[in-house]
Amino acid sequence: MENISDRAAGYHIPGVVVDGQDPFAVYEAAKAAVERARAGEGPTMIECKTYRIEGHFVGDPELYRSKEETMKIFHDTDPLKKFREKIANINSLLEQIAPYEKERVEKVKERITDALEKTLSVDYDKNRLEQELNLLHRKAGCQRRKTTP
């Protein structure tokens, strides 16, 4: 049997294999399993494939592999390194879209200012406006705060 999670089928539950060295993959698998459980669909077996960097027990001489092999594999698949790289990529992406986001915020502010100026330039009946606002608030089921001009 290649994957321990294949045994889950014997218990009539799903089994999932995930790269245990990838914190984001583990998170997504766990999130899906939690959602499934909360929906009343039962447990999920999650098998996280990882690399053991220590021996089988304290004092294990680890004659079955070299220290260099262990350190190279760990260096190449270090979960914290993967996490930092992914976060750096996300931060880089955020920095790239920041100017566009700022531009959109400015456009929205501009439109709000234009709408407000147009509204304030219109001659209106203050009593009628008060009645309409009160009616809207009643329909929404909330109290309207009185504002002073």
Model pTM? 0.57
Residue 30 — very low, low, confident or very high, per pLDDT cuts 50/70/90?
very high
Q: Given this model, what pLDDT does residue 25 score?
A: 93
- pLDDT above 90 (res 17): yes
CA distance 1 to 15: 13
Residue among 52, 46, 53 nearest 25 (CA) = 46
Would the pLDDT of 24 be above 70?
A: yes
Long-range CB pairs of 10-15, under 8 A, 24+ apart, other chains included: 11/45, 13/42, 13/43, 13/44, 13/45, 14/44, 14/45, 15/44, 15/45, 15/47
Tell me the catalytic residues.
52, 56, 64
Whether pLDDT at 3 is above 90 = yes
Residue 148 has pLDDT above 60, yes or no: no
Q: What is the pLDDT of residue 144?
A: 65
When mean pLDDT is compared across 5-19, 68-82, 86-100, 133-147, the lowest value belongs to: 133-147
